[in-house]
Amino acid sequence: MNRLDSLFQKKKNNILSIFTTAGYPKLNDTLPVVKALQEAGVDFIEIGIPFSDPLADGPVIQDSSTVAIENGMTLKLLLSQMEDIRKELTLPILLMGYINPVLQYGIENFAKKCSEVGVDGIIIPDLPMQEYLEDYKKVFDQYNLKNIFLVTPQTSDERIRFIDEHSNGFIYLVSSSSTTGKKTGIDGAEEYLSRIQKMNLKTPTVVGFNISSKESFQKATQYANGAIIGSAFVKAINNNKDIAAGVKSFVGAIR
């Protein structure tokens, strides 16, 4: 069974995910960060693949991507670094990135390598759903790789139902129309999140964008199974000399 499926079967509420940029703050920091996150008690991890033009990301994650690329991080290197990760990590791991590096790597090669190193799912914001269904779904299913779709406040109920029908893993509820980290908290998103909650979707939901504190995490999880924190965490580990202590402190403040 895919680790995401197992997680959502065992735990229905207050699921905490943390986003971290691969190769940030330093090239070889990714594995120490994710190990520290598991030890700190997060439920699943989202690793960002650095990209030169991350359209959905705000300045904090954009800057971390720039630093990671300058450090030498690539998709190929990240997957190589992850080859032995399952010797120590048991929680679900997702990769978040953009379609161009995946296409350069090769769709089937990418899915196969993800399966080999223990990646459970991917989030590709600029992969059109119809293109995924027609061209990529069969390959991802073959390698038991979940593809996570995003929903925004502008997404119609009809479209949400369609996404729910074709989703596995969870649906990513973008809390606002801004990029990541543009706002603090999710005030103003309650009506939108409540609308989706009342739809009683079959697929679990996780809120992302602008979750940055215990308060915003608790508010988001009133409407969804969990929430993802990204920019606030990336900012917190910048120039942190003791990664494990910094991660523990950050996660402790959320829980």
Interval 33-42: pLDDT, tens: 999 999 999 9
Judge whether residue 157 has pLDDT over 70. yes
Output the pLDDT for position 149: 97
DSSP-derived 3-state class of residue 195:
helix
Query: Above pLDDT 70, what percent of the chain?
Result: 95
* Other residues' Cβ atoms within 10 Å of the Cβ of residue 30: 23
Please state the pTM of the whole predicted model: 0.94
Judge whether residue 67 has pLDDT over 50. yes
Output the pLDDT for position 53: 75
Output the pLDDT for position 180: 46
pLDDT band at 52 (very low <50, low <70, confident <90, very high): confident
Q: Which residue has the tokens 């995924």?
A: 132
CATH assignment, 3-254: 3.20.20.70
Distances from the Cα of 174 to the Cα of 19, 54, 122, 207, 209, angstroms: 14, 16, 16, 6, 6
Model confidence pLDDT, tens digit, residues 110-147: 999 999 999 999 999 999 999 999 999 999 999 999 99
Judge whether residue 1 has pLDDT over 70. yes
Average pLDDT, rounded, for the chain = 93
| More reliable by pLDDT, 188 or 73 | 73
Positions marked active-site: 46, 57
Q: Residue 193 carries which side chain, given as an amino acid letter?
A: L
Judge whether residue 171 has pLDDT over 60. yes
Output the pLDDT for position 179: 47
Output the pLDDT for position 185: 62
Q: Which two tokens stand for residue 227?
A: 């929430």
Q: Which distant-in-sequence residues (6+ apart) come within 8 Å of 221 by Cβ?
A: 13, 14, 15, 207, 227
Q: Where are the domains of the chain?
A: 3-254
Residue 127 DSSP label: S
pLDDT band at 182 (very low <50, low <70, confident <90, very high): very low
Judge whether residue 107 has pLDDT over 70. yes
Mean pLDDT of the region 54-70: 86
Output the pLDDT for position 211: 94
Closest CA to 60 of 251, 212, 169, 220: 212
- Over its C-alpha atoms, the chain yields an Rg (Å, rounded) of 17
Mean pLDDT of the region 245-252: 95
Judge whether residue 181 has pLDDT over 60. no
Judge whether residue 54 has pLDDT over 90. no
